[in-house]
Amino acid sequence: MPVITEIEDLKRIYRRRVPKMFYDYCESGSWTEQTFRENSSDFDKLYLRQRVAVDMAGRTTQTKMIDQDVSMPVALAPVGLTGMQHFDGEIKAAKAAGDFGVPYCLSTMSICSIEDVADNTDKPFWMQVYTLKDDDFMQRLFDRAKAAKCSAAVITVDLQMLGQRHKDLKNGLSAPPKLTPKSVANMMTKVQWGLGMLQTKRRFFGNIVGHATGVEDASSLSSWTAEAFDQSLNWDRIREFRKMWDGPLIIKGIIDPRDALEACNVGADAIIVSNHGGRQLDGALSSIRALEQIMDAVGDRIEVHLDSGVRSGQDVLKAVAMGAKGCWIGRAYVYGLGAMGQAGVTKALEVIHKELDVSMALTGHTDIKNVGKDILMIPKDFSDNWK
């Protein structure tokens, strides 16, 4: 195994090993990609205060996310098409997360089905759902998640319609992907990836094909996805979804304090401050900039997590210092998965954990639960200088 010291090392290997279509799907945002870039670069505007002559022994990054014990305040975010980044990708990511002691969340648009992941793992995982029109499909999706002993559900509320992602359109990335001579030729150069995909029977959207009405194979999937998402979504509709699921519920996709307050009233256990990784409204505020005003708005009424732009343990530390109870990583673990499969996801988690642990110690703390804003130097105009 090459020497891996940072997430960027995994990204470089990932880019070499995975077809361009799927690399671009992961490593892109909508329109000009301003929000995609600033999700990460805005973390750099927060500086850490170093402390010395502090007893650093006996450190712990263990905490809780929605009352579940975690080895560090990190969850693996739901990422569609993960099983195309590496064969059986969702299963491998879930295994790595379970072994490491952090939550894994399966996407509705996964290649491996809920049942596939449940049958091949021994730790509970979380299930993400979109806000779709079909009540029967939604109820059965929640029921399948319950039967698979999923310990929480995540409702994504910021995907009523797709933001335009130029790279995906140019690559023919859709559901299912439209293969072109150019994309096929590129896939043929990724020998290790191709051999892996030949080994598995899981190549289509396992939570949808054979489960959604009229979707019996990949050829009928395209029309279903074009019509399934509910553009008329409102908070009353989200309350209906809440009634379909009686377990812990997280709402993902909050970036405005007004929506955070609405989310408090629908019976959710947590919200995720997220702009969908910069893949929806380009020009929206980065998640880390939006976090402080949302924390001020909701106080302790609901647990707050952060997603979008997290690439290091220092990013996790900064988000926790700003008030988040946990961070969600997507691209960071996908780099590892595409680079090295399950071992790569584990390596990504190890890198983030080490960065978090060492940085926490150097700011004078030995317990992640005690970290607060005192470790940060925050620019005056970071989150509250808007007209």
For residues 72 and 316, is the Cβ–Cβ distance under 8 A? yes
Structure tokens at 229: 């998402």
Sheet with 105-106: strands ordered across: 74-76, 326-329, 303-307, 270-273, 249-254, 152-156, 126-130, 105-106
Out of 166, 211, 276, 353, pick the active-site residue. Answer: 276
* Helices 135-147 and 235-244, packing angle to 10 deg: 40
Structure tokens at 380: 């005056």
Cα 78 to Cα 68: distance, rounded to the nearest angstrom? 18
Q: Are strands 126-130 and 74-76 parallel, antiparallel or unpaired?
A: unpaired
Q: Is 276 a catalytic residue?
A: yes
Largest CA distance in the chain: 66
For residues 282 and 300, is the Cβ–Cβ distance under 8 A? no
Q: Hunting for tokens 């926490």 — which residue is that?
A: 360
Q: Hunting for tokens 């990784």 — which residue is that?
A: 277
Q: Which residues have a catalytic role annotated?
A: 276
